[in-house]
Amino acid sequence: MNSTANVFAALDLPQPYLLFIGDTTEAGYAKTAFGLRDWARDRCVGELACSPDAITLGLPKLTPAQARALGARSMVIGVANAGGRILDSWMPSLLEALEAGLDLVAGMHMRLADTPALTAAAERHGRRLIDVRTPPRGIPTATGRKRSGKRLLAVGTDCALGKKYTALAIARAFKQRGVNVDFRATGQTGIMIAGRGMPMDAVVSDFEAGAAEVLSPDAAPDHWDVIEGQGSLFHPSYAAVSLGLLHGSQPDVIVVCHEPGRTHVMGLPDFPLPSLEEAIDLNLRLGRRTNPAIRCGGVSLNTSQLSQAQARALFAAESKRLGVPVADPIRGGEEFERLLDHCLRID
């Protein structure tokens, strides 16, 4: 089977899910759990933590046995911690899930299948360990060849600030407008939501751009691929995956994502975030290497911490300052409609 066929083959993920949030106290590190809650709520029966101090998703708090009785078929590790590690403190809960008759699903860099205690328990109880962050074999190196169809890539000033939500919201809105569109997932959460995709940060660096080309192949001239972004060109740890995705996806349009009030790279306080002007400029300059016609369709702001009045005032001020539409795709409204118009070049 060639790599393209592997990418677009739907994953066999046992549903519905119990979402495991471990002992995570910061919402940004539980983005997989929140993403599934917000975009696949009908597939989530509840949540499980292994610490009373852990954040909550607002879902029913269930034991693995209770979740299984309600129809759950797997427990998803909903945490994306630094380094993608499976922590020792999680093991009792993971083993309990297997014993209760649930498969385990994860998108960590550390693979479930490489954890001896889990593989032994899974074999003993007849359960599956499903590692979503596994790229297909045979990914080619990039060619830089211009492909047919249209592409939009969500980029950002940092990690975990709304690139996935922005891409999902734009893809949904395009579809509602009658646009021929596909959402292209590039991370574990997006892959779990869409059922397919390319785990870009698990691809060997020489093949990053090639993986992005495979993910978004030639398409009809009026077809749009809306591509989930990864990392940030300004991130001292993860800029490499961002650049490979930018070059390989060859976006016609970028939407720059940012969280107002965030001033430093999450988890790295010695590194300040760039201005939006810097983020727009650098993404366009580097993106021109494989698509000279790349342009900025607008800015997506994560205004979940602001009131409606504060958010709308900020949209207006930033749009005037930057000269592009600014909106929060989750809030929607006329600002988001203007951003969609600009992405699609509707004047």
Q: Domain check: are 334 and 271 in the same one?
A: yes
pLDDT at position 3 is 44
pLDDT at position 160 is 87
- Residue 50: give its domain's CATH number: 3.40.50.720
pTM of the model: 0.91
Cis before 16? omega within 30: yes
Tokens of 133: 């962050």
Residue 179 belongs to a domain: yes
Residue 278 belongs to a domain: yes
Residue 299 belongs to a domain: yes
Number of domains in the chain: 2
Q: Domain check: are 126 and 197 in the same one?
A: no
Q: Please state whether 109 falls in left (phi above 0), alpha (psi between -120 and 50) or beta.
A: alpha
pLDDT at 197 over 50: yes
Count of Cβ atoms closer than 10 Å to residue 314 Cβ: 17
Residue 126 belongs to a domain: yes
Q: Domain check: are 101 and 154 in the same one?
A: no
Residue 200 belongs to a domain: yes
pLDDT at position 27 is 87
DSSP string computed for 231-260: S-TT-TTTHHHHHHHHHHH--SEEEEEE-T
Of the three residues 131, 161, 194, the one that is the final residue of a domain is 131
Which among 239, 194, 220, 244 is positioned nearest to 7, based on CA atoms? 194
How many angstroms separate the CA atoms of 138 and 347, rounded? 43
Q: Let me know: does 122 contact 200? Beta carbons within 8 Å.
A: no
pLDDT at 17 over 90: yes
pLDDT at 11 over 80: no
- Band the pLDDT of 2: cuts 50, 70, 90: very low
Q: Domain check: are 34 and 61 in the same one?
A: yes
Beta bridge partners of 300: 257, 327
- Residue 332: give its domain's CATH number: 3.40.50.300
Q: What is the pLDDT of residues 49-64, one digit of tens each?
A: 999 999 999 999 999 9
Q: Mean pLDDT, the chain, as a whole number?
A: 94
Residue 267 belongs to a domain: yes
Task: Residue 14: give the domain boundaries.
Answer: 3-131
How many angstroms separate the CA atoms of 180 and 72, rounded? 34
By the 10 Å C-beta count (0-12 exposed, 13-18 middle, 19+ buried), 65 is classed as middle
